[in-house]
Every structure is written in structure tokens, then in C-alpha cells.
Amino acid sequence: QVQLVESGGGLVQPGGSLRLSCAASGIIFRLFAMGWYRQAPGKQRELVATITGGGNTNYADSVTGRFTISRDNAKNTVYLQMNSLKPEDTAVYYCNAARLNNYWGQGTQVTVSS
């Protein structure tokens, strides 16, 4: 079955950095667009960044210039490098794999606070 396992979340001070990882299994990884989404308490889930199998990327305006999405097709893993973190980046971050179907990971908590 399809599994997406996120890791790398945690507590960080404003201005700090974190790198999230999502390891995928059960899919032909290189054929899937991969993405990171987030959901803050009381808010809807929103797109953070996506990357196609060929490496084309797309970012939400709120993270452009601070976050970088990348993928390693040999390791079936997608990454989200988050720099210059702000308190408003606090959320549960979810990994997504999309082709004909959508698959989701269980989420990892990112908290930005002093």
C-alpha cells in the first residue's frame, strides 16, 4: 500500500530553519507530483509548495524566497527546506503525492515560537 512518512518537524525560534522529509513507498515515485501542504489550528489546509517529477516547482506567495522544495527520485523522498521561519508558519505540515489519485502522509508539527 501507499505510505508517505514525514519527519523533521519540531520547535524552532523565529528566524530559524528546519528541513522536512517525506519518504514514499508503494508508488512509482518519479511519476508523481509531490507537494507540501499545511494546516494551522482553525484554518483550512493550504498549499505550501509542489514539485513535478521533472523538477518544476511552485510555491505559495507566503513562502516564496524562504522555502525550497526538492526531491530525490533515487531515494523516493521529497524535502522542504524552510528558512527564516515566522510564527505564522506554525502548522501541521502534510506530504502529498498526486497523479490520478491523491495520497497524504500523517503530518508533522512545526512550531515557530520564542
Residue-wise pLDDT tens digits, 25-65: 999 999 999 999 999 999 999 999 999 999 999 999 999 99
pLDDT value of position 112:
98
Going by pLDDT thresholds of 50, 70 and 90, the confidence category of residue 21 is very high
| Cβ contact 36:96 at 8 Å | yes
Number of C-alpha atoms within 13 angstroms, CB side, residue 40? Answer: 10
Q: Within 10 A of 63 (CB to CB), how many other CB atoms are there?
A: 22
Q: Mean pLDDT over all residues of the chain?
A: 97
